[in-house]
Structure 1
Amino acid sequence: MELSRHEGQLPRITARYRIETPCDPERAAEAMAGEQSSGTFLKLAGETEALRERHAARVESVTCLKVGTTPSLPGALPGETYTSADVVLSWPLENIGTSLPNLLATVFGNLTELRELSGIRLTDLVMPACFIEALPGPQFSIEGTRRLCGTEQGPLVGTIIKPSVGLTPEETATLVKQLIEGGIDFIKDDELIADPPYSPLSERVPAIMQVINEHAQRTGRKPMYAFNITGDTDEMRHRHDLVRDHGGTCVMASVNWIGLGALAALRRHSQLAIHGHRNGWGVFYRHPQLGISYRAYQALLRLAGADHLHVNGLASKFAEEDASVMDSARACLTPLLEGAERDDRAMPVFSSAQTVHQACPTFQQLQSTDLIYTCGGGIMAHPDGVAAGCRSIRAAWEAASIGVSLEDHAKQEPDLAVALRAFHSPFSG
């Protein structure tokens, strides 16, 4: 943990930002600190020196970067130039307690609306050990997920039910049967389907789990299915119990829309792995001068209890750059608290137009197979069927792990050879 430069104080939360301002960056940083702690636009009698000393946010550092002549965002104070700067602020933990929603309200809160800022992005959070230890964190993490899936080594080869919407429970179960017989490790609902009238969970869960449980009884291997239980807190608890009671091992939630508080409540109730889907993440990252970096937000999602977190994928159909994808995955695999007894890592989930082509560069850049590699079309659209699609993805990862080219490995893996012809290049290639 990085310590504040102010010694002898209570534990502190530290937040890092990239800002843009028409003001002097030091003045802008002071405005940020005041807005998010004891200050207001007028001097108040109750804001004593003692109160400020104990509760005020502190400006730890300001590092000026480049200067431009055009503001990135509207609504800021007018200025002739706009300076980018890295700012570090800290708060006493006493202001916040161990509440994740109140942590975000403190470190981000009104900052996006300050007129002193024409750009603001929260880039990182450093939390003291007592804060991290007070929150539940992932229940299963990487090793627990591997144990539930029966996959000790290599990536978890996964897929998403496609088409995303429209399949009945019986049609979904038929597809699941093909996938698990083809050797899949992990299957998930699409984020677009939770509990719709045409495929209610009360019917979808038993239909799918009957197939999975029969397969497990016959083979001793039980692939993981992440059922989308997104809803309000009471709905998610009820849906979790439905999955649990039918022998399921994983539930999924759209974490940006249920919120940190509901995710933490689900974690407290859950006996199953929690698959965190980040759909809507573009709202937070697509403008370089506004939002939250995933490195900061994934830490909060892990503390709230997510066992798996989506990070997009290399050469995907989305706007995120490959370097950002890999930084997100590395962040998920980095312990929040070194040397802790519990494992607070989350398994990164690669998705979005992933095929056999991205396996090698993903492994080369991450240098780990502690991940879930989900392919929708990359498995479902294989010309020889979904089982061949599963085998082709596993063969691509075998090639990556032994350091041979896909083309050479395809000489002894016919399903991979067919996939290389069917999927000519990554989406963005």
Structure 2
Amino acid sequence: MAERIRATYWIETPYPIQVAAEVMAGEQSSGTFTRLAAETDELRLAHCARVESIVELDSTLEPSLPMRPLPASFGSKPVYRRARVELSWPIANMGPSLPNLLATVAGNLFELKEFSGLKLLDIQLTSEFAQAYRGPAFGIGGTRVLAGVNQGPLIGTIIKPSVGLSPAATAAMVKDLVAGGIDFIKDDELQANGPHNPLTARVDAVMQVINEHAERTGKKVMYAFNITDEIDEMQRHHDYVVSAGGTCVMATLNSVGLPGLAKLRQYSAVPIHGHRAGWGLYSRSPFIGFSYVAYQKLWRLAGVDHLHVNGLRNKFSEADDSVIVSAKTCQTPMFDAPHNGCTIMPVFSSAQSAEQVADTYAALGNTDLIYCCGGGIMAHPGGIQGGVSSLRQAWDATVQGIALETYAKEHPALADAIKAFRS
């Protein structure tokens, strides 16, 4: 367990790396652009951030991000050096507070004139954070119990069109999905409590279908209702979902913020499905922002139970190796025993079908995930039931070590998926 909060960064700077790192440490703790009378040696010793390590990397002759003009002393061809830097802070600087932690490890430093690139790679927190925050209430095990899926992935989908459907049209789609054998359904992040499909009306319509199906079959499909809203409204939405028999709520994390998610965790009686809409703003550039390794730790500690990680060969810009690192880190404990490990269920989505199953399992090494497919289910030649069956067959084959093509010879739904989705 770290005695101090630690954060690791990738930096690029034309300044001497040690100098640039010390500027970071000063700006994010006790320092400013000049030494002040009140900044005594004793205060600095107790509260100044420390540069724990510097590992020099490569260099470039062009800045990766725009910079202010450099002083003439840098010459006409400055070198922009890159390094991996670790800083640390005493917990006394901000206390075990996620909002204030974020201001410390990811605050003004992105704007400092000394840097032509800066990215937060990882954070290590002290045991005080594990004691102050509840972490996920359900995680992997609790989600499996509520969804009735003891082994294998939860096969899921997203209600589309994203917006425009009425509550009745949403429920009609859900009726087809539950009849087709789905485990998990979620609202789109764009569908929350709009006037064309109010949350309460959607909950009434959808839960009637889900509850009736559960009474007939014994299987209660998990539906993640998007309750993203103002903090007080989210509690009312949550309570309505639970009173109707719902088993999951969804929040768009970057919209509600860490305090909003932590508040939801305080009262939530069901798993919290975390959507990372807006994540590309922090991640897409290799020269500024966050890594998912650091980002997901904040939300796990705040209390999320599921977290989106994209998917292999997805429709976005993220590379496959990044997706797998994201998924693995969600399943990696944050703290040593006896503290809560905060492990959660990664959610694979974005242009997924039976085609990515084998590679997903080979890279992740387990089935503790939600595997969400839109077109991979809806566009299957055999319809929704064929799409869901194809996914189960793909996972069954993969876990048994059987090639999809071999298994497909006796499983028509999988054979149809291979024909339909193989590029």
- 2:13 maps to amino acid: T
Alpha-carbon distance, 1:341 to partner? 5.8
**Pick aligned residue for 1:18 from 10, 22, 34:** 10
Aligned to 1:54: 46
Equivalent residues in 2 for 1:18-417, closer than 5 Å: 18-76=10-68, 78=70, 79=74, 80-340=78-338, 342-417=340-415
Alpha-carbon distance, 1:54 to partner? 0.6
Q: Provide, for residues 334-388 of structure 1, a one-character-per-residue CA deviation record: whole Å limited to 9, x for no partner.
A: 0111333645111000000001100000000100100000001110111221111
| Contact 1:77/1:116 (<8 A) preserved | no
Alpha-carbon distance, 1:415 to partner? 0.9
Q: Secondary structure at 2:310's aligned position in 1? A: coil
TM-score by length of 2: 0.97
- Residues in 2 aligned to 1:361 and 1:200: alpha-carbon distance in whole angstroms: 39
- 2:235 maps to amino acid: R
- Residues in 1 aligned to 2:336 and 2:388: alpha-carbon distance in whole angstroms: 36
| Contact 1:76/1:117 (<8 A) preserved | no
- Residues in 1 aligned to 2:234 and 2:186: alpha-carbon distance in whole angstroms: 16
Q: Provide, for residues 216-247 of structure 1, a one-character-per-residue CA deviation record: whole Å limited to 9, x for no partner.
A: 11111111000011111011111111101100
- Residues in 2 aligned to 1:317 and 1:308: alpha-carbon distance in whole angstroms: 21
- 1:12 maps to amino acid: R
Q: Secondary structure at 1:106's aligned position in 2? A: helix
Aligned to 1:6: none
- Residues in 2 aligned to 1:64 and 1:76: alpha-carbon distance in whole angstroms: 23
- Residues in 1 aligned to 2:152 and 2:341: alpha-carbon distance in whole angstroms: 19
Alpha-carbon distance, 1:424 to partner? 2.1
- 2:84 maps to amino acid: D
| Contact 2:58/2:81 (<8 A) preserved | yes
| Contact 1:138/1:343 (<8 A) preserved | no
Unaligned stretches of 5+ in structure 2? none
- Residues in 2 aligned to 1:364 and 1:422: alpha-carbon distance in whole angstroms: 22
| Distance of aligned partners of 1:38 and 1:77 in 2 relative to their CA distance in 1, 3 Å threshold | farther
Aligned to 1:7: none
| Contact 1:363/1:400 (<8 A) preserved | yes
| Contact 1:76/1:118 (<8 A) preserved | no
| Contact 2:332/2:341 (<8 A) preserved | no
| Contact 1:189/1:228 (<8 A) preserved | yes
Q: Secondary structure at 1:398's aligned position in 2? A: helix
TM-score by length of 1: 0.95
- Residues in 2 aligned to 1:349 and 1:273: alpha-carbon distance in whole angstroms: 13
- Residues in 1 aligned to 2:149 and 2:338: alpha-carbon distance in whole angstroms: 25
Alpha-carbon distance, 1:55 to partner? 0.6
Alpha-carbon distance, 1:324 to partner? 0.4
Q: Secondary structure at 2:33's aligned position in 1? A: coil
- Residues in 1 aligned to 2:69 and 2:125: alpha-carbon distance in whole angstroms: 32
Q: Secondary structure at 1:148's aligned position in 2? A: helix
Name the Cα RMSD after superposition.
Answer: 1.1
- 2:194 maps to amino acid: P
- 1:28 maps to amino acid: A
| Contact 2:174/2:209 (<8 A) preserved | yes
| Distance of aligned partners of 1:77 and 1:108 in 2 relative to their CA distance in 1, 3 Å threshold | farther
Alpha-carbon distance, 1:333 to partner? 0.3
Q: Secondary structure at 1:311's aligned position in 2? A: strand
Query: Which runs of structure 1 show a deviation greater than 6 angstroms over 4 or more consecutive aligned residues?
Result: none
- Residues in 1 aligned to 2:131 and 2:178: alpha-carbon distance in whole angstroms: 38
- 2:17 maps to amino acid: P
Q: Provide, for residues 59-100 of structure 1, a one-character-per-residue CA deviation record: whole Å limited to 9, x for no partner.
A: 101111111100011124525110000000000001111110
| Distance of aligned partners of 1:76 and 1:64 in 2 relative to their CA distance in 1, 3 Å threshold | farther
Aligned to 2:417: 419
| Contact 1:60/1:90 (<8 A) preserved | yes
